Chain A
Amino acid sequence: MKKPVKAVINGREIISEEGRTVLEACREAGIYIPTLCFDERLEAYGGCRLCLVEVKGINRPLSSCTTPIQNGMEITTESPNLTELRKTMLSLILSNHPDDCMCCEKAGDCSLQELAYQYEVTPGKYDGERWNLPVKDDNPFISFDPNKCILCGRCVNICKNLMLKGAIAMTGRGFNSRPDTAFGRPLTPETCLFCGQCVSACPTGALIEKQSIGKGRNHSLRRIRTTCSYCGTGCNFYLNVKGGRVVKVTSDYEAPVNRGSLCIKGRFGYEFIHHPDRLTTPLIREGEGFREASWDEALDLVASRFNELKEKYGPEAVGAFSSSRCTNEENYLISKWVRAALGSNNVDNCARV
């Protein structure tokens, strides 16, 4: 057990534990602190300066994401001074950020947009040079608009420190620094896992999933929490649905196994759901081919043929294969069907092959 730590936040006493940061302690206590560079999957980076707090006895604001909570600390998370600092930070970011929210894929799900709204910061306070860089669109899944990058470092950190891949890194210095691949080359399977962790980490519209561009923004999407159907890890995520179609997969940070992380299949491999090859109607063999049939006709045929075979050859001559791809409930029902309706134990699943 970690040692408990007592502190006072905004005049309220809280109990956290040793080793937590001020930010973590505040979030646990339900106290909001704005952040841009913080990602709960990563170690604190302390880059965006938005999570600043005042600590009694220390004459400058501290970044809450990198400051350990200590016994007796008296912390203020919002004050006129902190608000002014945050506004300045946001104004500086906006001084080199396109103001095209009306067309941005990320609108409604953008941390920068949200914070600008919350702190009433509008573009144009500081004039200066702006990036005018081409969008990098060199692979099927990930589109990168460097002009929307706020240099929070999350994409680079998640690639390097969580995925241990380092497909992208911070390049350049000063005004010219930005995340990029080695020598600005396209992302390829040799260098990149295409896990899209960078996309999930990006707080703005800089890194966007290409497959879902134009298919709907946050407010128009219905999100359904579910479990991935590929491997046996059991990652949870949200299916984003619009007009009866799955248009995107987004992270579930509460997921017990994956905590918001996903792989290429889980995050990007959903297009099959609406593929034109999907079987959508029962088919009955006719000569060399198949003809379409109603559920009624097909099920009557299947039921009567199995009953006939059972009658003619005995229950030992019929059976079923079940699937590790199907749900528990379906696996249970098929074993019940074989045993109760066919009358044999000839039921097996593909776990062994």
Chain B
Amino acid sequence: MAGLATSLGAGAASNSFNQIGDADTLFIFGSNTTEGHPVVSIHVNRAIRNGARIIVADPREIELVRHAEVWLNLRPGSNIALLNGLIHIILKEDLDNRDFIRKRTEGFEELRAAVEAYSPDRVEKITGVSPKKLIKAARIYAGAQNAMILYGLGVTEHQTGTENAMAIANLALVCGQIGRPATGIMALRGQNNVQGASDMGPLPATFTGYQSVTDPNVREKFEKSWGVKLPAKPGLKSVEMLDEAKDGAFKGLFILGEDPAQTDPDLRHVREALGSLEFLVVQDIFPTETTRFAHVILPGASFAEKDGTFTNGERRVQRIRKAIEPLSGMAEWQVLCELSSRMGHKMKYDHPSEIMDEIASLATIYRGISYRRLEDGGIQWPCPTKDHPGTATLYQEMFSRPGGRARFIALEHKGPAEAADSSFPLVLITGRRREHYNNGSMTRRVRGIMELFPEELLELSPADAERLKIKDGERVKVLSRRGEIEVKTKVTTRSQEGNVFLAFHHQDALTNVLTSEHRDPITGTPEYKACAVRIEKLQN
């Protein structure tokens, strides 16, 4: 999200899901939409039925490829080269939107200079995508009336994740495909409240509403509201807390509803770090890999057991409503109030709506939001006043950067941190499946889902399977520099030669034992989408 924030102003999707069906061109980049966001894909289907042209960029032959006019089957981690290559073609063929570039952007000359070196031939060498496909995709996107980009974690979960998002913004800006309905960039978020969790400011450098902790005026506002002196020094990111825990400098951690011991990459490191803490509290609805390390486990309430709000991937703040009482007697918001009060900082709210009122008083983008207004369908931020209807399309007039212009960022291809080599010749891509969710703690406890999808399957191309003499359904060992797991294989053309795929939902095949420690230096997002592995047959 830091990428879009830098280029455009807001770290959020620019448009709305409902507009997808009205686009005449969809560029689906690093998002297996039909599986990762099945209901978003219904909007994509609507566009397809309306005759929209579809471009898919993905190393896997995902379901949407069937509907695509062009499939850009790039090598994992070559996103920037691909996007620079597309912009190169667009500029060479004069398909760019000069008027938009002149009136609404800055930094174009730097971009032009940077993409100059990304000729189709060179881009083919880096990405594996043929010049013919690149040119076709460039012409389709640049020639659209209303083109929308949908991107997923295949963009952000790389060491160049932030830059990948900037490269996507560059493409949209070059063609002026942003700032109108049915255009723009939809960043499809992994979890239900990723947007809200960032908006609310459990972030080391920003308070609620992306207000910097280092700004004395902002601090003063929060100090006044909360009645306490606040620290000015930005805190540690989650990965840094774990690093320092392992080094012995970080001692006490409260983990709310997360399972880093299963879902973080490089699990051995994570587990050592959690094991080094003097005091670890984990609050969750189920025992997880992480609760094993806890000194105190607090029961959490499921979404059915509490009132509150989630903010979805189009910035829409929506209610959740208590359908049954919390099984443990208390919802998380009540637990946090109790805990804070017992530590000497009193917190008291009679209902989550009062917490939202406080949020609205402190963050401009939520200022006009209250539970009463959320009764009918939610509100998309920014919603700066009590009578503001919310914002379906960002950047219609100006970008939310200083000066109101979007910024082109000149970028160079870097590639994944860990490339395949002779000892680990395959690239492992990780992702999700339609039927399961994250660490699987919820979906693995739905009997019907487990009956249909009982175990993890390593997706392997027919060519690799033949070379390794592995049969469909055979159990194999997958090894990376960090660890190994055993898993059943599925031989499928969804995987291209040289790439294998695993999801991370199952505890009996902990995919993240394999994934790498490399991260995006800006956001700290791990490179889940590419690491080098080798497959070995099991000895009988």
Contacts and interface: CB of A to CB of B under 8 A. Distances in A.
Interface of A: 139-141, 161-164, 189, 193-195, 210-211, 222, 224-236, 239, 241, 244-246, 254-258, 261-266, 268-273, 275, 277-285, 290, 295, 298-303, 305-307, 309-310, 312-313, 315, 317-353
10 contacts: A227-B310, A229-B302, A244-B325, A264-B449, A328-B356, A328-B359, A344-B231, A351-B191, A353-B238, A353-B263
Contacts of B359: 328-329, 332
Interface string B451-472: 1110000000000000000000
B36 A231 contact: yes
B435 A264 contact: yes
A345 B18 contact: no
Contacts of A342: 343
A245 B442 CA distance: 16
A318 B193 CA distance: 25
A349 B202 contact: yes
A215 to B, nearest CB: 14
A284 to B, nearest CB: 5
Contact of B343 (A163, A261, A306, A317): A306
Contacts of B448: 139-141, 194, 210-211, 268, 271
Given A256-B316, A350-B238, A351-B194, A278 B252 contact: no
B38 A339 contact: no
A189 B452 contact: yes
Interface stretch (B129-137, B172-180, B333-341, B530-538): B333-341
Contacts of A299: 335, 338-339, 342
A282 B257 contact: no
Interface in B279-310: 279, 281, 284-287, 291, 294-300, 302-306, 308-310
A280 to B, nearest CB: 5
Interface of B: 1, 17-18, 36-40, 42, 45-46, 48-49, 67, 188-205, 207-208, 213, 222, 226, 228, 230-231, 233-239, 241, 249-258, 260, 263-265, 278-279, 281, 284-287, 291, 294-300, 302-306, 308-314, 316-325, 327-330, 332-333, 335-340, 342-345, 347, 352, 355-356, 358-359, 376-378, 434-435, 437, 441-443, 445-449, 451-453, 523-526
Residue with the highest number of chain B CB atoms closer than 10 Å, among A256, A261, A275, A343: A256
A324 B314 CA distance: 15
A246 B286 contact: no
A325 B192 contact: yes
B211 to A, nearest CB: 11
Contact of A239 (B304, B310, B333): B304
Contacts of B213: 345
B252 A353 contact: no
Contact of A319 (B235, B260, B342): B235
B493 to A, nearest CB: 14
Given A272-B443, A334-B202, A352-B523, A239 B188 contact: no
B311 A328 contact: yes
Nearest to A257: B17
Contacts of B378: 234, 256
Nearest to B227: A340
Contacts of B447: 140, 271
Nearest to A43: B49
A226 B195 CA distance: 18
Residue with the highest number of chain B CB atoms closer than 10 Å, among A162, A229, A231: A231
Contact of A140 (B189, B377, B452): B452
B39 A330 contact: no
Contacts of A310: 252
A76 B235 CA distance: 69
Given A235-B39, A246-B324, A264-B38, A303 B343 contact: yes
A307 B251 CA distance: 12
Given A233-B313, A257-B312, A320 B328 contact: no
Contacts of A241: 323-324
B254 A320 contact: yes
A256 B234 CA distance: 38
A287 to B, nearest CB: 12
Contacts of A279: 284-287, 291, 297-300, 328
A350 to B, nearest CB: 5
Nearest to A322: B202
A270 B235 CA distance: 37
Contacts of A236: 318, 377
Nearest to A300: B342
Given A234-B311, A275-B286, A327-B352, 11 more contacts: A234-B378, A236-B377, A271-B446, A279-B284, A283-B296, A309-B278, A323-B258, A328-B199, A329-B359, A348-B204, A353-B525
B437 A230 contact: yes
Given A279-B287, A321-B256, A329-B333, A232 B195 contact: yes
B437 A265 contact: yes
Given A336-B347, A340-B340, A282 B226 contact: no
B443 A347 contact: no
A276 to B, nearest CB: 9
A319 B297 contact: no
Contacts of A232: 37, 188-195, 312-313
Contact of B254 (A141, A284, A321): A321
A277 B197 contact: no
A325 B439 CA distance: 12
A347 to B, nearest CB: 5
Nearest to B355: A329
A322 B299 contact: no
A231 B431 CA distance: 13
Contact of A347 (B235, B279, B313, B329): B235
A337 B341 CA distance: 9
B279 A305 contact: yes
Contact of A325 (B193, B195, B321): B193
A337 B235 contact: no
A272 B445 contact: yes
Given A227-B319, A261-B42, A161 B49 contact: yes
Given A258-B39, A332-B208, A337 B258 contact: no
B302 to A, nearest CB: 5
B297 A282 contact: yes
Contacts of A229: 192, 302-303, 310, 320
Contacts of B302: 229, 272-273, 278
B253 A320 contact: yes
A225 B81 CA distance: 45
A277 B252 contact: no
B296 A302 contact: yes
B41 to A, nearest CB: 9
Nearest to A158: B42
B56 to A, nearest CB: 15
A242 to B, nearest CB: 10
A284 B285 contact: no
Given A256-B378, A306-B343, A226 B524 contact: no
A303 B320 contact: no
A334 B256 contact: yes
A343 B231 contact: yes
B296 A298 contact: yes
Contacts of A244: 324-325
Nearest to A269: B446
A295 B190 CA distance: 32
Contact of A327 (B260, B278, B320, B327): B320
Given A241-B324, A262-B39, A335-B201, A272 B336 contact: no
Given A227-B318, A235-B39, A273-B304, A164 B188 contact: no
Contacts of B336: 330, 333-334, 337
Given A263-B39, A318-B252, A335-B201, A353 B526 contact: yes
B197 A239 contact: no
A256 to B, nearest CB: 4
B340 A349 contact: no
A328 B317 contact: yes
A162 B309 contact: no
